[in-house]
Amino acid sequence: MTGTLAAAPTHDRNPLVAARSQLADAIAALDYGPGMLDMLATPRREVTVSVPLRRDDGSVEVLVGHRVQHNLSRGPAKGGVRFSPDVTLDEVRALAMWMTWKCALVNIPYGGAKGGVAFDPRGYSRGEIQRVTRRYTSEIMPILGPTTDIPAPDIGTDEQVMSWMMDTYSVNRGHTVLGVVTGKPVALGGSLGRASATSRGVVHVALAALAHRGIVAAGATAAVQGFGKVGRDAARLLAEAGVRVVAVSDQYGAVHDPAGLGVPALMRHVDETGSVVGFAASEPLDDGEELLHLDVDLLVPAAVEAVLNADNAHRVRASVITEGANGPTTPAADAVLEAAGVLVVPDILANAGGVIVSYFEWVQANQAYWWSEDDVNARLAERMQAAWEGVVGYAARRDISLRRAATTLAVETVANAHLARGLYP
C-alpha cells in the first residue's frame, strides 16, 4: 500500500477505516494485479467548499461542505447529500465508496459519490437552509451534471432541498435540467415510489432474510433505530407485513411496546410533535442504545454509522440485522456478530432500493416519460430480489458472510470495468 492509505485514520468507528477494511478484504479474495487496491481505495475527485451563510439575524456564518466522487468507471457518480453537524471529509469519502459498491452490486450504471454540509438544519430557518443549499450547489457546480454527478437526499435533506439544488443548477445552465438530481418531488420530475423506495427495499430483504433463517414474518419482532425517511417507512411496511415493531428511536429517545407499537398512530404523533418520544401507547427506553440490545428477531439500524461497534456488538440479541443506514456496523462488530451467528444483511444490499429508484427517476427524466407507481415498485422488487439471491448464493458457495459476498461481488464488477477500459495495457 502507498501513501494515501498509510496516512489513513485507524479508529474502529471511523467510517473510512471500515470502508477501506471491507475493500481490502474483498481485494484479498480476488485476483488482480498490483495497484488495484490503491486505485479503488482512492477517490477520483474531492471538492471541499466554504458555504458562507447570511443568517436571518444578519450575522454571517461560514459552513464547510464536501462532494466526493469515489469512482466513475461505470457511469456518472451518484449519491446523496447530507446536512448534519457530524459531516467530515472522511465520512463523505467512506459514504462515496459505499455508493460505488452499491451501484455495482445492483447493476445500475453509476459510480459512487456523496456530499454534505457540516451543520444541523434543525437550528436553521427554512430560508437559511435554502440559502445554504443554493450556495453549496453553486460551489460544487463545476463537478455536477446529469452525466457527471447526480445528488439525491440523505440525512437532513429532502425533496425540497433537491428542488432547490435542481433549480440552482438549471438557472445557471439557462434551462431546466431534471436529470441533475433525484429524489425530487413528483410535481418536479420526481418518480412515484422514490420517497419510500429505500424502506421498501430494506423490508424486501429483511423479510427474505427472516425466511432464510426460518423465521415466520407474521408475529416476528423488530426494532428500528431512526425514524426518518428510511426508518419510518421501514417500520410501517414491516407492520403491514405482519411484523411486530416493538421499538423505534430517534435522536431524542426511544419508545417500546412488547405487544407491538401502533405504527400509523406513532407516525401521526411524530408529525404533530417532531419526535417519537412521548408516544402515549408505549414505554420510554432508558436510552437509544437499549434498543440495539432488545431480544428481537430483526434489528434495523436506520440512522447513522458505527452504532454497532466493538463496545456493544456482544450485547446484540437479534437474529437478523438489516442495515437501513450506511455503515452502521464497524468491522470489529461484524466479526463479533458473525461469530455469534447473527445474519447481517449489509447496507450496500439492504438500502439499495433508494438509489435503484433514483436510477429509475433519472431514466424517466431523461426520457421525459413517467411510469406508474406499481411499475416502479415491481421493477424495484425484481432488482432487490435478484441482488439478494446473487449475494446469498455467492456467500453460500464460499461460506462467507453476506457483507463479504456483497462487497466482493461489487468490487469485482468495478475492477473489471477498469480492466475493460484498459487499466493494465
Ligand X SMILES: O=C(O)CCC(=O)C(=O)O
Ligand Y SMILES: NC(=O)C1=CN([C@@H]2O[C@H](COP(=O)(O)OP(=O)(O)OC[C@H]3O[C@@H](n4cnc5c(N)ncnc54)[C@H](OP(=O)(O)O)[C@@H]3O)[C@@H](O)[C@H]2O)C=CC1
Whichever of 226 and 331 has its CB closer to ligand Y, that residue is 226
18 interacts with, out of ligand X, ligand Y, none, CB within 5 to 8 A per kind:
none
Q: Which of residues 347-376 bind ligand X (CB under 6 A)?
A: 351, 354-355, 358
Residues 6+ apart with CB under 8 A from 35: none
- Minimum Å gap between C-beta 229 and ligand Y is 4
The contact pattern for ligand X, residues 193-232, with x = CB under 6 A and - = no contact, is ----------------------------------------
Which residues lie across from 327 on neighbouring strands? none
Residue 179 contact, options ligand X, ligand Y, none, Cβ 5-8 Å cut-off depending on partner type: none
Q: How far, in Å, are 183, 223, 312, 401 from residue 302 at the CA level?
A: 18, 10, 17, 21
Looking at residue 108, its amino acid is I
Residue type, 12: D
Size, binding site for ligand Y by CB under 6 A:
26
Q: Choosing among ligand Y, ligand X, none, which partner's interface includes residue 226 (Cβ < 5 to 8 Å by kind)? A: ligand Y
Question: CB-wise, 95 or 343, nearer to ligand Y?
Answer: 95
User: Candidates 49-57, 126-134, 152-160, 390-398 — which segment interacts with ligand Y by CB under 6 A?
Assistant: 152-160
- Does 155 bind ligand Y (CB under 6 A)? Our answer is yes
Nearest to 351 by CA among 285, 406, 284: 406
**For 318, which DSSP code?**
-
* Min separation Cβ 320 and ligand Y, Å: 18
- How far, CA to CA in Å, does 90 sit from each of 116, 126, 191, 310, 425? 11, 28, 31, 20, 32
Grid-cell match 437509544, residue found: 288
Least CB distance from residue 275 to ligand Y, whole Å? Answer: 6
Which of these segments, 53-61, 78-86, 214-222, 276-284, binds ligand X (CB under 6 A)? 78-86
- The position carrying cell 436553521 is 124
Nearer to ligand Y, 225 or 319 (CB): 225
Contacts 24+ apart (CB under 8 A), 262-269: 263/235, 263/236, 263/239, 264/236, 266/235, 267/232, 267/236
Binding flags for ligand Y, 354-373, as an x/- string (CB under 6 A): x-------------------
Q: Which does 235 bind (CB under 5 to 8 A by kind): ligand X, ligand Y, none?
A: none
**Alpha-carbon span 320 to 107, nearest angstrom:** 25
- Which of 309, 258, 266, 305 is closest to 285 using CA atoms? 258
Q: Which sign, positive or negative, has the C-alpha torsion 404, 233, 90, 316?
A: negative
| CA–CA distance, 17 with 23 (Å, rounded to integer) | 10
Does 309 interact with ligand X (rule: CB under 6 A)? no
User: For residue 64, which amino acid is it?
Assistant: V
Least distance from ligand Y to the Cβ atom of residue 253, Å: 9
Name the one range near ligand X by CB under 6 A: 75-83, 248-256, 266-274, 337-345.
Answer: 75-83
Active site residue 229: no
CB of 41 to ligand X, least distance (A): 19
The residues with which 225 forms a beta bridge, in sequence order, are 249, 301
Single residue of 288, 365, 383, 415 touching ligand Y by CB under 6 A: 288
Given candidates 182, 191, 319, 326, which one binds ligand Y under the rule CB under 6 A?
A: 326
> Is the backbone of residue 192 left (phi > 0), alpha (psi -120 to 50) or beta?
beta
Cβ 352 to ligand Y, closest distance in Å?
A: 8
DSSP of 172-187 = HHTS--GGG-SS--GG
Please name which of 301, 320, 293, 315 lies closest in space to residue 214, comparing C-alpha atoms.
320
Report the interface residues with ligand X, using CB under 6 A: 78-80, 99, 102, 152, 154, 182-183, 326, 351, 354-355, 358
- Catalytically active residues are 114
Report the interface residues with ligand Y, using CB under 6 A: 153-156, 198, 225-231, 249-252, 275, 288, 302-304, 324-326, 351, 354
